[in-house]
A = this chain, B = another copy of it.
């Protein structure tokens, strides 16, 4: 039959489900969810430190409060009486070029700077690329943040990437861009999106899939926000951006 089509992700046999060749029943209890995410997207199991890094990346992006458009759109749809899946799907539909997209944009821009350096000085290549981008009216993705000037998630991610032996030329290039910005007199720190983009690129992730990783990371946050909206708010309320207050547990340590 001409319409047979191939898939290399998961095989289903009676009493056996295998992801990329590995028996799910064997993975259960042995590996973290982050490890399984790595496996299903990359086709191979990560080593232990890379697995830990993968979980950390997903944890870093699990939620960012009630500010992002994905949360506001999901809550607005939930307020119309929508189902959970319909509201969460709306949140996913909001993850696009300008929301979450900085991860893969930054990865692609770092790759261009690396190519431009031709093995030479990354800071010079970064400065030249930034100048070119400025002349074209473009801006570097993954640097600077409205709220966070020194995002502790960024430092932690680089530390874990270092420990996992994953930090390579994209991470080095991200630091070179930071230096180039500082040299030009307008220090712009790498933000969490930029750090993730650099690390994922060094891990060998395809840029097209990076926004997908952000969707995976953010889905739990979206579920939590929609469940909260359905439980605590009245239908058809005005979901005013920025008018929210946090009333959850105070700061605490694990």
Q: Chain A 194-222 against B: per-residue CB contact (8 Å), 1 yes, 0 no?
A: 00000000000010110111011101110
Interchain nearest-CB distance for A117 vs B (Å): 29
Measured CB to CB, the nearest residue on chain B to A232 is B6
With a cutoff of 8 Å between Cβ atoms, the chain B residues found around residue A240 in the complex are 3, 5, 240-241
Grouping DSSP codes into helix (H, G, I), strand (E, B) and loop, the A interface class, with mixed when no group exceeds half, is mixed
A81 lies within 8 A of chain B by Cβ: yes
Q: Chain A 32-68 against B: per-residue CB contact (8 Å), 1 yes, 0 no?
A: 1110110011010100000011111011101111110
Q: Is the CB of B248 within 8 A of A8?
A: yes
Q: Is the CB of B9 within 8 A of A98?
A: no
Chain A: interface residue count, which band?
Answer: 35 or more
Interchain nearest-CB distance for A1 vs B (Å): 6
Q: Is the CB of B99 within 8 A of A81?
A: yes
A126 lies within 8 A of chain B by Cβ: no
Please name 14 pairs of A and B residues whose Cβ atoms are closer than 8 Å in the assembled complex, sorted by A.
A7-B66, A7-B245, A8-B249, A17-B64, A24-B60, A28-B160, A31-B59, A31-B254, A33-B54, A33-B55, A37-B220, A80-B98, A84-B211, A85-B211
